[in-house]
Amino acid sequence: MNGAEALVRSLAGSGIDVCFTNPGTSEMHFVAALDRLDLIYCVLALQENVATGAADGYARMTGQPAATLLHLGPGFGNGLANVHNAKKARVPMINIVGEHASYHIKYNAPLTSDIEAIVTPVSDYVVTSSHPDDVGTDAARAVAQAKTWPGKIATMILPADMAWSKTDIVGDGLLPDAPGRVVAEEVEAVAAALKSDKKAVMFCSGAVLIDPNLEKLGKVRAASGVDLISQTSNRRIDRGAGRVVVDKLPYVVDLAIETLKDYDVIILVGTDEPVGFFAYPEKPSKLSPEGAEILRLAGPEQNTFEALDMLIDTLDAKDLEVEVAAYEEAADISKLSGPITPEAISAAFHAHMPEDAIICDESITTGRAFYPDGRNAKPHSLLQVTGGAIGDGMPMAVGAAIACPDRRVIVLQSDGSAMYTNQALWTMAREGLDIAILLFSNRCYRILEGEMKGVGVEKMGHVAESMFSLADPEIDWCKMAESMGVSGTRVDDASELSAAIKRAVTHEGPFLVEIVF
């Protein structure tokens, strides 16, 4: 057995069953071992950011890490943006990064780089195997680190000679570290605040937003009347009929400040104090109202389930009934005609969304109309781009569809960000994944137009306009999708919208709808 075989056996023995790959020369022994042993399902991505984004989506839906296989430092660099998103989502992931043979590094060949320096900023745990006998145990330890609450990014660097050299050692599956301890005094302080006459909100993220954990939040609300708001972008929120409703903090700073301005107490559950995505002149970075009391029930590294259970016991709320959303049919837009609007897209999308769908949302500005409508839609899971690095929508959908083949996946995708990882379409076709891609083609970076206004620029000149426009030349998304094996159709009138979306969500295999507006 060589080190590569020990790596495969150790990963599989630790529960890794999928690897999203974009291999190169230094990883050929690992590829050969994956092929020979056939213990892990391998999915090819044509660009590394598709592989890392797919691993992100897989982890969000399973709670378990997938592996990625990346080629040296530049390969990891190509996939870094979606590792960043996964780290901000606090999901588990293990990256296997090939390296030159240890004795070859000193010659500074063209692909030589400081891999540890590249991977460390977006990894919680990094290990470089230095002996063939270490490979299996390094892998087992990396998986255990990835599985540590609430989810970690573990990166293992594998020199080629460690992969091809002989070893007899396979790493045993290891238990992850325990979550951080819940502090009883913090729970008691939260309970006291909820029993007072102060206006309070629970600011939430993480696993508490996934059904059936939402019920715990509902019991606290039933006992105290506390409002529930999630952070702006989350790794996953289960929403729709039958679920406890959690509102979302708006992205726009002024709206976020307005949302929070009346609260005396902000209680943190699985997240940190709310702050703006960016700084703006004469606007605060922290969004909490001045003078508000900030209490922590449990931070991201602590066991939020345990903390909520303790709070429920303190509030004597265990047997209380929770209020959930009722189903409401979306507005019928089948007889509309004329220009397409975000409101029309939302109505058509929610009218035809299958029950238990998985929604991967990278709709940026267009999608701001969708979230309120999802409150009373059919039950679904919503995955968002958590780290602000665009290009995660379609790759996430690949991972989510492989994780949950019995559920329909729908991507809400803006055109500008789709260009970062359009290669995901090819993987969708190759794997035959049931994914509907709703591609919003406004032919511009609309969010950047808003950001210019946010920093005080009211009128743009031709230079700024040229940097925000995607209209010259226009991108033909249906032709692009077809070239990668994905069927599609284009709509530019509201009268065509409903039928096109219905077709997409019932089509066998991937289907793209280019929505021009």
* Per-residue pLDDT reduced to its tens digit, 39-77: 999 999 999 999 999 999 999 999 999 999 999 999 999
Domain presence at residue 286: yes
Same domain, 251 and 362: no
Domain presence at residue 442: yes
What confidence score (pLDDT) does residue 445 get?
A: 67
Same domain, 156 and 244: no
* Bridge partners (DSSP) listed for residue 516: 441
* Per-residue pLDDT reduced to its tens digit, 117-173: 999 999 999 999 999 999 999 999 999 999 999 999 999 999 999 999 999 999 999
Same domain, 136 and 231: no
Contacts of 225 (CB under 8 A, 6+ apart): none
- For 251-289, b where at least 16 C-beta lie within 10 A, e where not — what string? bebeebbebbeebebbbbbbbeebbbeeeeeeeeeebbe
* Per-residue pLDDT reduced to its tens digit, 164-205: 999 999 999 999 999 999 999 999 999 999 999 999 999 999
- pLDDT range class, residue 230, cuts 50, 70, 90: very high
Domain presence at residue 57: yes
The residue type found at 467 is M
Domain presence at residue 333: no
Range of the domain at 301: 184-314
Same domain, 273 and 418: no
* Per-residue pLDDT reduced to its tens digit, 380-436: 999 999 999 999 999 999 999 999 999 999 999 999 999 999 999 999 999 999 999
Instruction: Count structural domains, the chain.
Output: 3
Domain presence at residue 334: no
The Cα 174–Cα 11 span in angstroms is 11
- Is-above-0.85 flag for pTM? yes
Residue 249, judged by CB atoms within 10 A of its CB (0-12, 13-18, 19+), counts as middle
Same domain, 132 and 198: no
Same domain, 154 and 303: no
Is there a cis peptide before residue 473, judged by omega within 30 degrees of 0? Answer: yes
Q: Is the pLDDT of residue 306 over 90?
A: yes
303's tokens: 């066991």
